[in-house]
Amino acid sequence: MENHVITIDNRQKITVTDVADIDNFDEEEICANLKEGGLLIQGKGLHIQMLDLADGKAVITGEINSLAYKQKKDKGEKGILRKILK
């Protein structure tokens, strides 16, 4: 398992490393796949400010209310951005 870092600035900006993909997102919820599991970010007015899958980094802004880790998905499942970009 590789290390990942989550940095939250004043509950208004979150930076996450080790991001492999984004499953789905809207203004209240973002589901990110990390290389070793998932991360659910909930809040209000959420916006993906920057997503660099090559570096595995995402920057999300908005009112951040909660974070929760999720179980790792089966390898056969892919996120919505991977499906769109292929």
Q: Which two tokens stand for residue 43?
A: 């809040």
Residue 36 pLDDT > 60, yes or no?
Answer: yes
- Per-residue pLDDT averaged across 14-39, rounded? 93
State if pTM tops 0.75.
Answer: yes
The mean predicted confidence, pLDDT, of the chain is: 87
Confidence check: pLDDT of 37 > 50: yes
CATH of domain 6-85: 2.60.40.2000
Residue 64 has pLDDT above 50, yes or no: yes
- Burial code of 33-52, b = ≥16 C-beta within 10 A, e = fewer? bbeebbbebebeebebeebe
Domain boundaries of the chain, sorted by first residue: 6-85
